[in-house]
Amino acid sequence: MAELDAERTPGGAVLMDGNRLRDELVAELRHRIADLGNPHVCLATVLVGDDKPSQIYIRNKRKKAEEAGMVSRHVELGAEASQAEVEEAVRDLAGDPDVHGILVQLPLPDGLDAEPVLDLIPPEKDVDGLTERSMGRLVRGRDGHVPCTPLGVMRLMERYGVETSGKKAVVIGRSTLVGLPQVLLLGRKGCDATPVLAHSRSGDLAALCRDADIIVAAVGVAGLVTADFVKPGAAVLDVGISRTADGIQGDVDFDAVESIAGAITPMPGGTGPMTIGCLMENTFNAARMLGALPG
């Protein structure tokens, strides 16, 4: 299933290391940009308010952009910023030819509506892949940016040799951020899996998953996926994050599942880092789409 240099869990499953693959992607982008003569490639981030996790996420994204040889531009607004002020900041970035990718850190503070803010981002600069135009392009198979987390899941499976063609995949969770685009990516031509979208009303969820070759858990229920959910040898990718009294936990009971699965992501260190890695990939592609890099 996996490349020979892959680390394995104590139970023998291939450990799909998101930290390692993210750093590989960032290093590859740095070399590609250097080979092109270090052209200006700019990722702009927008942070509104003083939410601590959001500050950490933005700091990590800016750091990786700089490691990839990109320019990191940051706009920060206080929690008291009005809807009009946030929209004006994003509108300015959208109209700036020196900015190739725009990321608005969500959620916005209470009282602010994210949708009209996201609507201001041109699809070519929507490196988070979250606007309705980017989602429409994904559905239609047109050139555009794929949401970073589901794209990261696909990159992990590619890197660690998880077969998808003709395989049954169950995606737990139907959010527009992960679940829905994940199903589209798994089912499109070239991947050729047979995806099933599961959710809280899917009936016997364990039985549904137990028949799958690939499980992507993205519902935000700590420890939901237990050993009873997993067919021996299946690939299990954990996207869900829950903050519990015991700390951050994923949707997958790792200790119970790793001896059954053929490949599994850790939490943390699995799909989360890949979200940032794929943001860098999208930003590079945005610069290409906007003519700042060769096609």
| Catalytic residue set | 61, 105, 128
Q: Which of 20, 42, 45, 22 is nearest to 33 (CA)?
A: 42
Both tokens of residue 122?
Answer: 């041109």
CB neighbour burial string for 10-23, b if at least 16 within 10 angstroms, e if fewer: eeebbbbbbebbbe
Residue corresponding to tokens 């890197």: 159
Taken in order 90, 94, 100, 106, is the CA torsion positive or negative? positive
Environment class of residue 142 by beta-carbon count within 10 Å: exposed (0-12), middle (13-18) or buried (19+)? exposed
Residue 145 · residue 123 · CB < 8 Å = yes
